[in-house]
Chains A and B, each alone.
Chain A
């Protein structure tokens, strides 16, 4: 009930425009049908009908069909615009919240320390809180900057890198950032798996996936991180969580910029709706692909990155040329 009222409050005006568009299409179709019925018997039935009449009938029908096609196109573009608009306004809301909340908290604790006589043990706790707020602020800023920096354009300067080590490092960073037990993320994969790419970008991608897995895991924190290479020369990174998952209808949208599940004002998870968009941009920049699968809400999600360009093990690990090793 509350959800409906919230949605109708924010979406009503836009749906009005769409309703007008759909109404126009219906009118155009009705006109076309009427034209067909009224003009056709004469054109098709009677013999000695002037060819000019037949041509007029043919072009008239064509014009009607073009009109309908044009209207459908306009409505589709409008629908796309409406969705983008909605996501952008969600993004502004989310970023406002993500930037202002830690700033408000920092300000509150600074002023508390300034105006109040805070006992030393509480003081230490306040400093810890303030450091976490700065981390959160920094993460949001990085997210926004990364979204602008990583585009689908191919990586300019791919370098050999160890994807397995990179993934393990991302896992360690995630454990530290979220203050998790070591068992929260389980790694399965080789000690080393070499691919060509941008190490910083790929680490951002794996970090974003792990970060999401933690964020959407509810109480049961059990994340599986797998890395493997296949016979086709492709490398894979898979992040699986047992968290809130998602429905089939949400799956196609989750890599879209600013997309977040649910209404912004009742948000329970922090974020800007940029994380997965950045992951996809990075993966595309490496000519790779990313897939997501979820059996349904509350049944976890699995993200799999596939990257081409698997390198021979140790091929350039010590700077040794291939020929020398062979």
Chain B
């Protein structure tokens, strides 16, 4: 049974979302405070007592929270190597807020007020996307100097192990599956980010830059993850 951590300080919303998620068969844990959410999601730096609490499959995260805001929570999670899928919920629904959320490391974003069926579909979708990113393309794929282990969201380069976020893994997987072909930016936005293909954002470019840092000898002169000007990106055949 997938376990969802719901971080929401509005009591009514938390109770309503919990009720619905439980009916859909998820185990739900709720936290109403940003700092406590970080305690739960980010393991202590000394590595002592790593999660006694059960592992979480998805975090549903509000932005406006007492203690620490949602953007900062995702940032801290990612910095600390926690790549659990994150769905952000917030009253701030402007496109720039969506982009800020995604750039902070969230995997999906839903503005309040939301439609219940949409929320449930997004939760299910994120858990499924995670499974998609993990399965099918073979567990470990060689990409240039690195080996990408999709099952564990890890990129290994020599002794170095880089953890990938769900979105990074999905983007890389899409490019690996279509190796040698151009994948348009619109398609990436739609398939990986679940956004309208017309959305104006530098998020894809930023993610590509990050992947290049891990995959290329010289990220400024890429030989593997190539930009096709005005169209999208292509992963070169080896």
Contacts and interface: CB of A to CB of B under 8 A. Distances in A.
Contact of A105 (B10, B64, B68, B69): B10
A115 B117 contact: yes
B55 to A, nearest CB: 25
Contacts of A267: 64, 66
Nearest to A116: B23
A267 B23 CA distance: 31
Nearest to A97: B91
> Majority SS of interface residues in chain A?
helix
Nearest to B89: A104
Nearest to B92: A96
A278 to B, nearest CB: 23
Given A104-B91, A267-B64, A129 B113 contact: no
B105 interface: no
B115 interface: yes
Interface in A71-127: 93, 96-97, 100-109, 111-112, 115-116, 122, 126
Interface stretch (B11-19, B134-142, B202-210, B218-226): B11-19
Given A104-B13, A132-B12, A266 B113 contact: no
Contacts of A107: 113-116
A40 B15 CA distance: 77
B12 A133 contact: yes
A265 interface: yes
A103 B113 CA distance: 6
Contact of A104 (B20, B69, B112): B112
Given A266-B64, A266-B66, A112 B12 contact: no
B113 A112 contact: no
A2 interface: yes
B197 to A, nearest CB: 27
Contact of B69 (A6, A102, A103, A116): A6
A298 interface: no
Contacts of A132: 12
A267 to B, nearest CB: 6
Contacts, number: 78
Interface residues of A, number: 30
B65 interface: yes
What range describes how many residues of B lie at the interface? 20 to 34
Interface in B165-219: none
B99 to A, nearest CB: 15
Nearest to A105: B12
A243 to B, nearest CB: 15
The 4 A-B residue pairs with the shortest CB-CB distance in the complex, in nearest-first order: A268-B66, A104-B113, A111-B116, A100-B91
A132 B16 CA distance: 14
A129 B67 contact: no
Contacts of B115: 107, 111
B65 A266 contact: yes
B57 interface: no
Contacts of B116: 107-108, 111-112, 115
B69 A265 contact: yes
Contact of B72 (A2, A133, A268): A2
Contacts of A268: 9, 66-67
